[in-house]
Structure 1
Amino acid sequence: MAITDSDLEPHAEQYDRLRNAAAHVLTVLDDPESEPDTVRAALTELHQAVRGQRGSAQTETGLPAQDPAAHLLSRLAYAGKVARPITLDEQAANFGQQLAAAQQMDEPGPSDPDRDVRLTELRAMIVGGLLQELAARLRPGAAFGPSREGEQLAAAVTELAAAVLDRTFVGRR
């Protein structure tokens, strides 16, 4: 008997709460400076989610729970004092805008500071390889799971990796 999306719909909210609580526990446990009370609160939130009890969608510190399959874990977006997770798609769009803006910058004059980042060929190959690795990890599959949330960011990173590697003997054809 196969499980369909319609079978899961009544449980979608509970699944989201459980996933967010588990992601929060992993985030807290990943921080070596986490206070025992913060760890305890995250585990309590996960326990409540497993039991189906209503809990907070935010951590004890007021930060929203983040889903590593859909959000950046390293940054939050702030509107005043309210924080919200940045989705991978938002980051991809922001990344694309930043690259486009950097490419449209005027050429510096003789008195302007040099804004170019200079890389040796070896460093460019290392950076390009790391960018390719990141892109592979963001695509659906064994590393990222079945989520398609990281595809846009993976495409942007792949494009940047190609641009970096094209300036090395690895990218020359």
Structure 2
Amino acid sequence: MEIDGFQQLDLEKSVPSKKTTPKRIIHFVDGDIMEEYSTEEEEEEEKEEQSTNSTLDPSKLSWGPYLRFWAGRIASTSFSTCEFLGGRFAVFFGLTQPKYQYVLNEFYRIQNKKSDNKSERRGSKAQAAEVPNEKCHLEAGVQEYGTIQQDVTEAIPQ
């Protein structure tokens, strides 16, 4: 079934529509008008803000809760202020370095030195154990040092 433009307008009018008012209307110098509408998320955020503001209204509290409310607010504000200023003063006076870092560095340096000494001793002990088992000692700089003697004729293939 085909619907005329006129019938379509009648259908649109019969359906209840939400009339939204613009959140902001901006008038430009050249005569243009821009209307800004709020989204559903913004409306939900506004409702949440209103609900939190209405529950924390100290003017509607009795004396006991009123004093507790202000004591808590003063304490939290004081603590956050001291925390902020303490951090700034620590940076200003150079107190961000660990107090005993030089002791830790010295400990690690000594520990590395001890481990190096132990590894050197292990290596020298192993060499000392092998020295008595050798059959002959070769002097450094001699032609046969570190090589096996071969006949020159055997080494060259023909």
The TM-score with structure 2 as length reference comes to 0.19
Larger radius of gyration: 2
Structure of greater relative contact order (alpha carbons < 8 Å, 6+ residues apart):
1
The TM-score with structure 1 as length reference comes to 0.17
Structure with more helix by fraction: 2
